[in-house]
Amino acid sequence: MSEQDGRTPALAFKGVDTHYGAAHILKDVDLEIYEGEMVCLLGGNASGKTTTLKAILGMVEPTRGMVYIDGQPVNGWTTAERVKAGISMVPENRRLFKRMTVKENLEIGTYLRDDEENFEADLEHIFELFPRVKERLSQKAGTLSGGEQQMVAVGRALMAKPKVLLMDEPSMGLAPVLVAQNFDIIDQINRAGTTVFMVEQNANMALSIADRGYVLQTGQIVLSDTAQGLLNNPQMRSAYLGEA
């Protein structure tokens, strides 16, 4: 696999195709995400964004091509093995366990870790990022507001102490002020050292904090550039940035 400045990508796809039955979704997708980067994957509905994240976690297996974590081919690895290798996801629509408390949801994030005894210390770290989560620890997750659910979903993913955090449309369903707050937190998490790979339809927002981006169109990467390069790209501006 290729390298940049002699570095091995934290996450990479090489020629990945996926199918759901006869439906050919991802087509020859190449991706490289380096340690410390924040990279976004942009694209419209049904372009294959969630499928890409699922292929990283082994919830979808490529029909062709390779997925690498830290340079190691992980095709055939279980999702649990990939989480242990340092990948964690904030899924589309948060997917909290609604009848469980906030604290129980956060505990679930630690299940595949070997050092669960640090739970309380890690909780403190989550409270620093999201003070409101501390006030809601014993509340059932299903009764939280959308913004609060997003905080708990991010907190749960961080409890796994990931090297790479995958985020599937963090802005979805949130009011603009919450979207801005949410992106601020993602930026902080990245600055504190966690590599972030984020799927978004809100291209302007995502590119405002990302280092680089890829654009997916019906399962194919059609653009790949720095965030600034994409923001200035005329093709990008008309198709994704809301300009005629």
Ligand X SMILES: Nc1ncnc2c1ncn2[C@@H]1O[C@H](COP(=O)(O)OP(=O)(O)OP(=O)(O)O)[C@@H](O)[C@H]1O
Per CB under 5 A, residues contacting Mg ion are: 49-50
Q: Which residue is nearest to Mg ion (CB)?
A: 50
What percent helix, strand, coil does the chain show, rounded to 5? Answer: 40, 25, 35
| Dist CA 214 CA 236 (whole Å) | 11
Residue with Cβ nearer ligand X (52 or 110):
52
Q: Which partner, ligand X, Mg ion, none, binds residue 220 by CB below 5 to 8 Å per kind?
A: none
Sheet holding 38-42, edge to edge: 87-90, 164-168, 195-200, 38-42, 212-217, 220-226
3-state secondary structure of 223: strand
User: What's the closest the beta carbon of residue 104 comes to Mg ion, in angstroms?
Assistant: 26
Q: Which partner, Mg ion, ligand X, none, binds residue 30 by CB below 5 to 8 Å per kind?
A: none
Which residues contact ligand X by CB under 6 A?
Answer: 20, 23, 25, 43, 45-51, 92, 201
| Dist CA 211 CA 213 (whole Å) | 7
Q: Which partner, Mg ion, ligand X, none, binds residue 20 by CB below 5 to 8 Å per kind?
A: ligand X
User: What's the closest the beta carbon of residue 121 comes to ligand X, in angstroms?
Assistant: 35
User: What's the closest the beta carbon of residue 169 comes to ligand X, in angstroms?
Assistant: 6
Residue with Cβ nearer ligand X (25 or 133):
25
User: What's the closest the beta carbon of residue 50 comes to ligand X, in angstroms?
Assistant: 3
User: What's the closest the beta carbon of residue 171 comes to ligand X, in angstroms?
Assistant: 12
User: What's the closest the beta carbon of residue 7 comes to ligand X, in angstroms?
Assistant: 28
Place of tokens 């299903």: 142
Q: Which partner, ligand X, Mg ion, none, binds residue 213 by CB below 5 to 8 Å per kind?
A: none
Residue with Cβ nearer ligand X (8 or 217):
217
Per the document, the length of the chain is 244
- Given a contact cutoff of 8 angstroms between Cβ atoms, the answer to whether 36 and 195 are in contact is yes
Residue with Cβ nearer ligand X (1 or 46):
46
Q: For residues 173-201, b (16+ Cβ closer than 10 Å) or e, as one string?
A: ebeeebbebbbeebeebbeeebbbbbbbb
Residue with Cβ nearer Mg ion (47 or 105):
47
Dihedral of the alpha carbons of 86, 89, 90, 95, in degrees to the nearest 10: -120
